[in-house]
Amino acid sequence: MSTALITGASRGVGAQIARALAPTHDLLLGGRGSTELDSLAIELEGSSTLPVDLTDSDALEASVEAIGSLDVLVHCAGVASSLENIADTPVEEWRHVLDVNLVAAAELTRLLLPALRETAGHVVFVNSGAGMRVNPGWTPYAASKFGLRALADGLRAEEPSLRVTSIFPGRIDTDMQRDIVAREGDAYDPGRFLRPETVAATVAHAIATPPDAHPTDVVLRPTGR
């Protein structure tokens, strides 16, 4: 079977992507070492964990150096920002959000390019609606997602043997979303948001697209149904 590495696989959308790809791929489950990551590996028999802090470049390089070929790389790890205006956002917040959401993805992609070229592989970036527009209080997060979009577009232009897909979902029903809504001071209604399984199915569908087609950008918006 083909091999897929998924970052942010411990929970939420990343875990659902792993479940969606498990029937067709051998999985490498990337994430910080945790009981959730270990439990998912047990659930998905035959999968392996890749416990690493993506922002630790030395540890990241060591963790993937043995990967000689890779069919699919799914970037799903990410953090939200503090929802403050630019005037109130300290430099540490900018650095943290950009480091996790953009720089780590760029570095992991760079490290795995030889393995992806070996298979004419597929790279999927789970982006966000914030990668296409900016709302007040979301500027650092949007900057990281606009950057992720540029990373995908640049990779697609520079590596014509690879397929590169950006997924732009609207807000998703996850633990992270619950935290965001609490900070916004609103009541949480999961029906307002996309289901993680829906985003995962979209990722799996893009990967399963026959090789004569290149799915580049996919936008998902919640319908409230």
What pLDDT, in 10s, does the model give residues 98-139?
Answer: 999 999 999 999 999 999 999 999 999 999 999 999 999 999
Per-residue confidence band for 36, with pLDDT thresholds at 50, 70 and 90: very high
Looking at residue 184, what is its pLDDT? 74
Residue type at 1 in one-letter notation: M
Q: Residues 47-73: what's their mean pLDDT? A: 96
Superfamily for domain range 2-211 = NAD(P)-binding Rossmann-like Domain (3.40.50.720)
pLDDT of residue 51: 95
- Residue 131's pLDDT is 96
CA 103 to chain CA mean position, Å: 13
Q: What is the mean pLDDT of the chain?
A: 94
Contact 163, 124 (CB under 8 A): no
- Indicate if the pLDDT at residue 193 is higher than 90: no
Phi, psi (deg, nearest 5) at residue 222 = -70, 145
141 is catalytic: yes
In percent, the amount of the chain with pLDDT more than 70 equals 100
Distance CA 201, CA 152 (A): 20
- 25 within 8 A of 6, measured Cβ to Cβ: no
The two structure tokens encoding residue 104: 């780590």
The residues spanned by each domain of the chain are 2-211
Q: How far apart are CA 32 and CA 137, in angstroms?
A: 28
- pLDDT of the residue at 173: 78
Mean pLDDT across 151-177: 93
pLDDT the model gives residue 33: 86
181 compared with 100, residue with greater pLDDT: 100
**Per-residue pLDDT at 191 exceeds 90:** no
Name the active-site residue from 138, 141, 146, 168: 141
Rounded to 5°, the CA angle 180-137-173 comes to: 25
Cβ atoms 72, 121 nearer than 8 A: yes
Whether this model's pTM surpasses 0.85: yes
Least reliable range by pLDDT among 111-125, 144-158, 160-174: 160-174
Name the more confident of 62 and 179. Answer: 62
Residue with token string 């914030």: 130
CA distance between the termini of the chain: 35
- Cα(150)–Cα(7) distance, rounded to whole angstroms? 19
| Residue 124 φ/ψ, nearest 5 degrees | -120, 125
- 188 pLDDT more than 90: no
The answer on pLDDT for 183 being more than 90 is no
